[in-house]
């Protein structure tokens, strides 16, 4: 390959042409493609695109490769860019349209098929014509069906919503806008409809109406609707008249009205601000913050009678911090509008409520953003500090999390201080100079009628920002039965303590690499090995969980996977590979003791490079895991019933398949 590349360069220079900047990397990409190493080919194609961004063929080959590894959305985008570069490549256009349809962009797919059936020729035109019909006919039929349903039942919300959705996909935008509006009037609390309406009005060129709908959707809706709407709005801050237009569409949007009120306050339009705060307190009497601000405004214009019930309501509430601020403000009559901590900016209004909503829904990046706004608005809210710690922790930003937990430990509320102290204690060991971890895993196996026990105590030394950490370790592996067979006894475990020293990397996205050297000391007088022997080990460990794991506050589906690769010198220098996977459903917390249960299905695979029968088998079967909230977080009970099969049976003295009922307890402690 280097000789060929050099020759090509020489020929290009001989004819006075510049060498192909993408040639070398493309040669590697196609070589990997021929070897079916698609995962390696993809980044090489991307690198070639950087070198030759206008070359359509590279994008097409990348798109087909992405399809082979199951990335249809990425492939769609590459075909779309190729179509933009060469609109006359009708084959690319058809591929792009089909992928748009498969990835739920039916509207775009229909548009492309429609264009191609009019501009292409031959097979491409016939394919586009048929595909257009396949997309368009169900839309037309659906529109007719829902129109008939609306004639029978004019106030049917679902009929209006479905009709609007189908009309938008068929590019009947006026019809879509009409029925999105009618659906919104029927269910004004469904603020996702504002996003739909804003999007359609924007496509119709009704910029002002679209801006009002999107502004309303960007405040007070669920986090994903909010973020999508903000992305469609211009980057500037809205004007007062735009807030008013948005409130005409969504008059019940308290967050939107509160933000307008604070904006009016900053613009010194106190009379208008007071009107908005009054509407808020009428809509939501429990909004103490707005009640306090309305009371301050009335006091400022000498309306003590109007302010008294509002401020008295705040003073009698459970919000001690807000009540203290009211008392302070009432004692500073010359400066009644000193409330920068209530809302440092209009953006801060409702931030805590949005943070809570995002946090409960699991959108941690959204929660972090809103929590930061809430903290700026109220720097002494210890609940916000605690939530900031948890949000950073869930995003694997543990050093930031530790800072917030340390601040929350100072909370005057004992419950918050206690929880923050526990979180700080659990998280701080990984940043300590010395960290000691101990774990134990006793397992009973019905197949072997034996109780096995595994454990380790390890002390790591953290040396600044070095990518590895030295450690000292003592492992234990043993069982109660010890051997099977009398003539040639077979030991069921290592029956030893293993002392070692090694290096390990910090966890990176669930992946850890490690290696150690030491000595194994058997506590049995074994016939097959010396009591003391050198022991060298190393490998990697990967763990990842998705969904509602065992510690989640609510129930739901989950998936866990654990991958390990381990070199062990004492087992004939073999390399063992483990893949343990479980998926299922986490039942929500039950009872006063906080009982938590997972129902799961196991799928395990073990193999080794020397292909020894005892190290090559697959297992599957049901299981359950459970714990109680009052117990330590790292104490988990597991029961599995597995069907196993050896994948290699040469030398196997027992049958190729087996059943095994296993019960185990996992306990880990870090200090």
**Residue tagged 């920068």 (tokens):** 340
Question: Does 531 lie in the same domain as 658?
Answer: yes
Instruction: Return the ∠ at Cα 480 (arms to 478 and 485), rounded to 5°.
Output: 100
- Does residue 303 form part of some domain? no
Is the pLDDT at 339 greater than 60, yes or no?
Answer: no
Is the pLDDT at 484 greater than 70, yes or no?
Answer: no
Q: Give the mean pLDDT of 198-203.
A: 87
- Does residue 210 form part of some domain? no
Residue 384: what pLDDT? 82
Percent share of the chain, pLDDT over 70 = 88
Lowest mean pLDDT among 44-48, 380-384, 545-549: 380-384
Question: Does 566 lie in the same domain as 632?
Answer: yes
Distance between CA atoms of 219 and 229, rounded to whole angstroms?
Answer: 9
Residue 176: what pLDDT? 87
- Does residue 398 form part of some domain? yes
Tens digits of per-residue pLDDT, 210-259? 888 888 888 876 777 888 888 888 888 888 888 898 888 888 888 888 88
Is the pLDDT at 286 greater than 80, yes or no?
Answer: yes
Is the pLDDT at 332 greater than 60, yes or no?
Answer: no
Per-chain mean pLDDT for the chain: 82
Give me the number of domains the chain comprises: 3
- Structural domain boundaries, residue 645: 436-670
Question: Does 441 lie in the same domain as 424?
Answer: no
Nearest to 453 by CA among 414, 482, 487: 482
Instruction: Band the pLDDT of 483: cuts 50, 70, 90.
Output: low
Residue 340: what pLDDT? 38
Bridge partners (DSSP) listed for residue 105 = none
Q: Give the mean pLDDT of 376-395.
A: 77
Question: Does 607 lie in the same domain as 521?
Answer: yes
Residue 515: what pLDDT? 94
Instruction: Mark which of 113, 139, 165 sits at the end of a domain.
Output: 139
Is the pLDDT at 15 greater than 50, yes or no?
Answer: no
Percent share of the chain, pLDDT over 90 = 19
**CA neighbours closer than 13 Å in the CB half-sphere of residue 482:** 9
- Does residue 375 form part of some domain? yes
Distance between CA atoms of 86 and 388, rounded to whole angstroms?
Answer: 49
- Does residue 154 form part of some domain? no
Residue 207: what pLDDT? 85
CATH number at residue 572: 2.40.128
Model pTM above 0.75: no
Q: Give the mean pLDDT of 30-49.
A: 89
Backbone angles phi, psi at 247, to 5 degrees: -70, -25
Instruction: Band the pLDDT of 13: cuts 50, 70, 90.
Output: very low
- Does residue 128 form part of some domain? yes
Please report the DSSP string for 244-267 in residue order: HHHHHH-TT-HHHHHHHHHHHHHT
Name the packing angle between helices 122-152 and 106-119 (round to 10°): 130
Residue 417: what pLDDT? 82
Q: Which helix (H) or strand (E) holds 344?
A: none
Q: Give the mean pLDDT of 287-302.
A: 83
Instruction: Mark which of 139, 165, 184 sits at the end of a domain.
Output: 139
589 vs 580 pLDDT, higher one: 580
Question: Does 586 lie in the same domain as 626?
Answer: yes
Q: Give the mean pLDDT of 391-399.
A: 78
- Does residue 488 form part of some domain? yes
Question: Does 406 lie in the same domain as 550?
Answer: no
Residue 336: what pLDDT? 32
Question: For 362-413, where are the alpha helices, taking DSSP H only?
Answer: 364-377, 382-394, 398-408
Q: Give the mean pLDDT of 610-626.
A: 93
Residue 9: what pLDDT? 41
Question: Does 368 lie in the same domain as 465?
Answer: no
Question: Does 626 lie in the same domain as 483?
Answer: yes
- Alpha carbon separation from 24 to 28, 38, 50, 51, 469 (Å, rounded): 7, 18, 13, 10, 39
Q: Which helix (H) or strand (E) holds 472?
A: strand 469-479
Question: Does 487 lie in the same domain as 379?
Answer: no
Residue 238: what pLDDT? 86
**Residue tagged 């590895």 (tokens):** 468
Instruction: Band the pLDDT of 342: cuts 50, 70, 90.
Output: very low
Q: What is the chain's Cα-based Rg?
A: 33
CATH number at residue 30: 1.25.40.10
Question: Does 530 lie in the same domain as 390?
Answer: no
Please report the DSSP string for 63-125 in residue order: HHHHHHTT-HHHHHHHHHHHHHH-TT-HHHHHHHHHHHHHTT-HHHHHHHHHHHHHH--HHHH
Is the pLDDT at 343 greater than 50, yes or no?
Answer: no
Is the pLDDT at 18 greater than 60, yes or no?
Answer: no
Question: Does 456 lie in the same domain as 422?
Answer: no
Residue 359: what pLDDT? 64
Instruction: Mark which of 431, 453, 485 sits at the end of a domain.
Output: 431
Tens digits of per-residue pLDDT, 110-141? 888 888 888 888 888 898 888 888 888 988 89
- Does residue 122 form part of some domain? yes
Length of the chain measured in residues: 671
Distance between CA atoms of 48 and 23, rounded to whole angstroms?
Answer: 8
Question: Does 423 lie in the same domain as 463?
Answer: no
Residue 473: what pLDDT? 94
Is the pLDDT at 189 greater than 50, yes or no?
Answer: yes
Residue 556 near residue 545, CB atoms below 8 Å: no
Q: Give the mean pLDDT of 168-184.
A: 88
Residue 431 near residue 398, CB atoms below 8 Å: yes
399 vs 617 pLDDT, higher one: 617
Query: Residue 408: exposed, middle, or buried by beta-carbon count in 10 A (0-12, 13-18, 19+)?
Result: buried
Q: Give the mean pLDDT of 602-607.
A: 96
């Amino acid at each position: 390959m280097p000789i060929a590349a050099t020759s090509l360069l020489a020929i290009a220079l001989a004819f006075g042409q510049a060498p192909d900047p993408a040639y070398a990397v493309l040669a590697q990409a196609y070589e990997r493609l021929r070897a079916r190493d698609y995962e390696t080919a993809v980044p090489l194609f991307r690198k070639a695109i950087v070198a030759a961004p206008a070359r359509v063929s590279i994008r097409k080959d990348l798109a087909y490769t992405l399809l082979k590894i199951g990335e249809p959305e990425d492939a769609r985008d590459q075909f779309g860019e190729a179509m933009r570069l060469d609109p006359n490549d009708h084959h690319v256009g058809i591929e792009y349209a089909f992928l748009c349809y498969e990835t739920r962009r039916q509207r775009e797919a229909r548009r492309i098929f429609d264009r191609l059936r009019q501009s292409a020729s031959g097979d491409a035109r016939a394919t586009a014509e048929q595909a257009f019909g396949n997309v368009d006919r169900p839309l037309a039929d659906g529109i007719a069906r829902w129109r008939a349903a609306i004639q029978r039942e004019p106030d049917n919300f679902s009929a209006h919503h479905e009709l609007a959705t189908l009309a938008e996909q068929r590019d009947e935008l006026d019809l879509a806008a009409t029925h999105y509006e009618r659906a919104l009037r029927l269910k004004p609390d469904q603020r996702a409809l504002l996003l739909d309406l804003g999007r359609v009005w924007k496509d119709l060129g009704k910029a002002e109406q679209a801006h009002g709908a999107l502004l309303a959707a960007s405040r007070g809706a669920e986090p994903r609707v909010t973020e999508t709407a903000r992305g469609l709005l211009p980057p500037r801050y809205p004007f007062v008249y735009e807030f008013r237009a948005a409130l005409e569409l969504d008059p019940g949007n308290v967050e939107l009205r509160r933000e307008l009120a604070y904006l009016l306050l900053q613009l010194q339009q106190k009379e208008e601000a007071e009107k908005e705060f009054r509407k808020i307190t009428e809509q939501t009497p429990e909004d103490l913050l707005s009640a306090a601000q309305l009371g301050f405004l009335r006091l400022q214009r000498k309306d003590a009678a109007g302010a008294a019930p509002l401020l008295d309501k705040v003073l009698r509430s459970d919000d001690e911090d807000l009540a203290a601020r009211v008392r302070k403000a009432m004692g500073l009559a010359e400066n009644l509008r000193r409330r920068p901590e209530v809302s440092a900016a209009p953006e801060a209004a409702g931030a805590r409520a949005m943070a809570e909503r995002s946090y409960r829904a699991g959108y941690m990046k959204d929660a972090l953003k809103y929590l930061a706004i809430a903290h700026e608005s109220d720097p002494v809210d210890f609940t916000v500090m605690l939530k900031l710690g948890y949000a950073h922790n869930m995003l694997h930003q543990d050093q930031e999390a530790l800072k917030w937990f340390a601040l929350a430990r100072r909370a005057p509320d004992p419950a918050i201080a206690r929880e923050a102290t526990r979180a700080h204690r659990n998280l701080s060991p990984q940043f300590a100079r010395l960290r000691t971890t101990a774990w134990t895993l006793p397992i009973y196996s019905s197949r072997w009628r034996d109780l096995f026990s595994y454990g380790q105590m390890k002390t790591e030394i953290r040396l600044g920002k070095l990518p590895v950490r030295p450690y000292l370790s003592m492992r234990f592996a043993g069982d109660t039965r010890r051997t099977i067979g009398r003539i040639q006894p077979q030991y069921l475990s290592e029956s030893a303590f293993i002392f070692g020293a090694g290096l390990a990397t910090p966890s990176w996205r669930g992946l850890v690499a490690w290696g150690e050297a030491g000595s194994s000391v058997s506590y049995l007088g074994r016939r097959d090995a010396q009591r003391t022997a050198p022991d060298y080990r190393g490998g990697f460990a990967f763990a990842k969980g998705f969904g509602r794991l065992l510690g989640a506050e609510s129930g739901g589906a989950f998936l866990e996977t654990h991958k390990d690769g381990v070199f062990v010198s004492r087992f004939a220098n073999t390399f063992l590979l483990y893949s343990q996977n479980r998926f299922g459903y986490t039942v929500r917390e039950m009872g006063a003791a906080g009982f938590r249960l997972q129902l799961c299905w196991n799928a395990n695979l073990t193999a080794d490079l020397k292909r020894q029968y005892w190290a090559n088998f697959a297992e599957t079967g049901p299981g359950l895991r459970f714990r109680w909230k009052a117990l330590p977080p790292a104490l988990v009970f597991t029961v599995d019933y597995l069907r196993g099969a050896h994948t290699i049976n040469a030398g196997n003295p027992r049958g190729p398949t087996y059943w095994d009922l296993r019960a185990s307890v996992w306990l880990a402690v870090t200090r």
